[in-house]
Structure 1
Amino acid sequence: MNDISPDKVFVPLELHGIRLEALAPHHAAGLRAAAMDGELWNLRVTSVPEPDQVDQYIFKGIEMRPSRFAFAVVDAASGEVLGTTSYHDVVPAIGRLEIGYTWYAKRCQRSHVNTTCKLLLLAHAFDTLGCALVGLRTDNFNHASQAAIERLGAKKDGVLRHHALRRDGTVRDTVMYSITRGEWPEIAAHLRYKLAQRPIAALPRAGERSPC
């Protein structure tokens, strides 16, 4: 992983009806609708943009390359934007990156979307980009996110105390996790097993009630 570029990162990534593609200005309306589904910007422990900040959010995601590569999460059948996720804190010299800046429309939560995205991103990071380690992080009060990361099989590295500002001006502790290249084959098998155990139902469209 001595070199990483948009051409290497943004290749076709699709599984179980979910497609990941480079986050771009044309995703703005869809990303705005995804954020409005559940008014996600009101959640204290996430960094979802308010509707009028979506264009700036997308621009910043593009501007941060090559330390961050932002993806749009798209329903492959309808083309609807479901949310976003990123590779970030990319350090090619040591083969390390993190997966984060992840959020989905409320109707997609507790579905197959997150597991599918993580499988796509982890496989691409380890098997194509040649990573030695992939990190994940979350707010110390975001217990749902911590549980989701632990279900992936990631190991908890520790807590960075007084680490980052929340949107409300308070300072959070950051819980750090990681997966090594040696751990990846077993985790990959586990994620594929999990996806095989649940039916991959069609996702509700915007404005529809989720069955979950």
Structure 2
Amino acid sequence: MNLEPVLENKRVLLRPLQASDLDALLEVALEPSLWEITSQCIRNREELEKYIQVALKEREQGLSIPFVIIDKHSGRVAGSTRFAAITPQHKRTEIGYTWIHPELQRTGLNRAVKYAMLQHAFEVMGLNRVELKTNERNEKSRNAILGIGCKEEGILRHHMIDWNGRLRNTVYFSMLIEEWPEVKERVFGKYDF
């Protein structure tokens, strides 16, 4: 499995995360609104550096494929995302750890990111299942996940503790390989990616 693929469409470039991306990502990561309803929080350069180090170590171990998100319309670094919890023996992964600068949210960028990742997961990696999850309180994220054609599976109660100590219920979503062709056409077919 290629742990450093480059994914691209007309709207977005997803390139492998590197330690040298620290400065480019710092401006985005220091936006406090990104971390209001999350299990992690990045408040300074050191926390972002640790975040990147963990992501790169997980890539070395074959557990995740972290990306830098580049918005091709503006040419700027927009945030980060990754394939996580890669489980080759069960042909599944999770799309997660996605954070995008607030100015670029609700612009279609995240939809282009998810399209590129779902297409790669099903058509290149040959996976059977892609999972997504979010905080039960994060309505914006829940609606976005449903909006790309994923199915809500249920809520894991007290699943995690957020960075601020609050107990988190986590909503799980998924898409299956047999659902992808219809979702690709119905949800993403109207966009010029």
Question: Once the two structures are superposed, what CA deviation does each residue of 1:136-155 show, in whole Å capped at 9, x if it has no partner?
Answer: 00001011100000001101
Q: Could you tell me how far apart the structure 1 residues matched to 2:112 and 2:7 are?
A: 10
Of 144, 148, 153, the residue aligned with 2:144 is: 148
1:69–1:86 contact (8 Å) kept in structure 2? yes
Q: CA RMSD in A?
A: 1.8
Hey, what does 2:167 align to over in structure 1? 171
Q: Percent identity?
A: 30
TM-score normalized with structure 2 length:
0.91
Of 92, 111, 115, the residue aligned with 2:107 is: 111
Q: Please identify, of 183-192 and 44-53, the stretch whose mean Cα deviation from structure 2 is larger.
A: 44-53
Of 23, 36, 57, the residue aligned with 2:51 is: 57
1:192-211 map, 5 Å = 192-196=188-192
Q: Could you tell me how far apart the structure 2 residues matched to 1:12 and 1:70 are?
A: 11
Q: Could you tell me how far apart the structure 1 residues matched to 2:191 and 2:41 are?
A: 26
Hey, what does 1:102 align to over in structure 2? 98
Hey, what does 1:24 align to over in structure 2? 18
Q: Could you tell me how far apart the structure 2 residues matched to 1:77 and 1:41 are?
A: 21
Q: Please identify, of 72-81 and 101-110, the stretch whose mean Cα deviation from structure 2 is larger.
A: 72-81
Hey, what does 2:36 align to over in structure 1? 43
What is the number of residues matched between the two proteins? Answer: 190
TM-score normalized with structure 1 length:
0.83
Q: Could you tell me how far apart the structure 1 residues matched to 2:7 and 2:141 are?
A: 23
Question: Once the two structures are superposed, what CA deviation does each residue of 1:13-50 show, in whole Å capped at 9, x if it has no partner?
Answer: 111231001111111111111123x4235513363422
1:156–1:177 contact (8 Å) kept in structure 2? yes
2:151–2:175 contact (8 Å) kept in structure 1? yes
SS in 1 for 2:78: strand
Q: Unpaired runs of 5+ in structure 2?
A: none
One-letter amino acid matched to 1:18: V
Q: Unpaired runs of 5+ in structure 1?
A: 201-212
One-letter amino acid matched to 1:190: R
One-letter amino acid matched to 1:47: Q
1:129-144 map, 5 Å = 129-144=125-140
Hey, what does 1:208 align to over in structure 2? none
2:160–2:170 contact (8 Å) kept in structure 1? yes
